Amino acid sequence: MVKFSVHSPFTIHHSLLIIHMFTSRRFTLDLIAFAVALLVLIGAIALSLLLQVDPLKRAEGSTLNNGRSGTQRLYNKLNNLGYIARPTITDELQPTAQDHILFILAPDLSFSQWEQQTLDQWIINGGTLILAQDNSRPSELLRMFNMSSRRQWPTIRQANLALPTLNWPFVGTVDLRASRKVVMDCGQVAIHIGDCDAPILVSFGRGMGHVYVMSSLYPFTNDGIENGRNAQFILNLVASSATSGNRILFDEVHHQGVSFWLVQTPAGWATILLFLLLLAYGLQSNQRFGKPRPTLIQDEPERRETAAFINHMAAAQKELDQNLRVRDHYWQRLKRKLARRYSTDPRLPDELFFAELSPYLDEQIMGQLIYLMVQLDRQEIKELELQQWTNLVILVWDALEKS
């Protein structure tokens, strides 16, 4: 028999607390909720194993995807024309000397340092890379070529081919639906679609090879290639670097991302459902997430004390005065910069000052300056609004420096 002494760390009181915990209604509900959530998760995992869902069949830009965002029609079309098109679904991307063209379309996963070095050497040895990416991830390949991608407004729906290289047989207009542009040094590339301010398709040589970078995926997709002009554009692009019988490689290694698994597979949806169930149970059981706040006594006055209210208002007024002084500083600095550049008097009233500058500035910069000037009439400005206003001033400075 177990004997309990006064100094024993385990007393009858502790044993009663444990018994109460295991027999309480709350513990029973917790146990039931956990069991249900566990069964749902196990069932979803088992279902995913039975269905054997292939995420590539739904991945954007994948040759196994026959939906609108896939590239299965492009893959089949090239094979029907005599090219030897094949996907790569190994653990790492490794084109060989027998591959004349490599398509990397809408990648999701990052490229390792080894893959970047292998790809760069393959291009230098004579390979042609066609990279189409309408998002900012991953960015390693663009950085490898001293490029980046940036969102643009409005979306460019269509555009003409600017150079004859890819325009024979005749294409004319390409359907793009491009919401991003390529950012690079215009003097180092050939711009096939767009201009130096908003390039959509650029190309450049690297060693014995060639690189095409496009900020729109749409022309390559099953939906986009249904347009005859887009189909001819892609065929011209391929024919510029390969002939019938050459091998063309499609990258499938970088299409399987965690975000895709989460929303496109039963196991991913089970994880989401499990989280929602636990969250709903926590809310239903009235559990607070965070430190509890003391309940106000009914007789406690709801209004702040007069001294505290006055101090609060004084602090708010001080912050407002500071924001107005900062805004005025940036505005006067911008006027002095413009005055030095275009030989005008910065002491002129704003309306006369910008009337003198209007012949020298383009419409976009002039519109931004007018917007900034109109905002000066506001006598109340919050810190976030001040940050947005000063950011626009800095953008105007940068645009003037580049013009």
Average confidence (pLDDT) over 319-332: 75
Q: Which CATH superfamily includes the segment(s) 72-256?
A: Class I glutamine amidotransferase (GATase) domain (3.40.50.880)
Q: Is the pLDDT of residue 8 over 60?
A: no
Q: Where are the domains of the chain?
A: 15-52+268-283, 72-256, 306-402
Q: 288 pLDDT exceeds 80? A: no
Give, for 23, the enclosing helix (H) or strand (E). Answer: helix 12-23
Could you read off the pLDDT of 86-121 as tens digits, one per residue?
Answer: 998 777 889 999 999 999 999 988 899 999 999 999
Of the candidates 166, 163, 164, 132, which has an alpha carbon nearest to the alpha carbon of residue 236? 166
pLDDT higher than threshold 70 for residue 289: no
∠ Cα 243 108 229 (to 5°): 40
- Write down the mean pLDDT value for the chain: 80
**pLDDT of amino acid 182:** 96
Q: What does the pLDDT look like over 228-286, one tens digit per residue?
A: 999 999 999 999 999 999 999 999 988 865 455 555 556 667 777 777 777 676 656 65
Task: Give the integer Cα–Cα distance in Å for 305 and 356.
Answer: 54
The pLDDT, as a whole number, for residue 50 is 54
Burial class (CB in 10 A: 0-12, 13-18, 19+), 130: buried
pLDDT at 278: 75
Res 302: pLDDT: 47
Give the whole-angstrom CA distance, residue 257 versus residue 263.
Answer: 10
Q: What is the mean pLDDT of residues 202-213?
A: 96
Residue 332 has pLDDT above 90, yes or no: no
**pLDDT at 309 > cutoff 60:** no
pLDDT, tens digit, for every residue of 149-185?
999 989 999 999 999 999 999 999 999 999 999 999 9
Residue 197 has a pLDDT of 93
Residue 26 has pLDDT above 70, yes or no: no
Query: Would you state the pLDDT for residue 219?
Result: 97
pLDDT over 70 at 9, yes or no: no
With cut-offs at 50, 70 and 90, classify the pLDDT of residue 7. very low
Give the pLDDT confidence of 75-93 residue by residue, as tens digits: 999 999 999 999 987 778 8
Q: Residue 4: what pLDDT?
A: 43
Instruction: Give tens-digit pLDDT for 337-388.
Output: 888 887 888 888 888 887 887 787 777 877 877 777 777 777 777 777 777 7
Cα–Cα distance measured from residue 24 to residue 9, given in angstroms and rounded to the nearest whole number: 24
Which pLDDT value is given to residue 151? 93
Taking Cα atoms as reference points, which of 273, 171, 187 lies closest to residue 228?
171
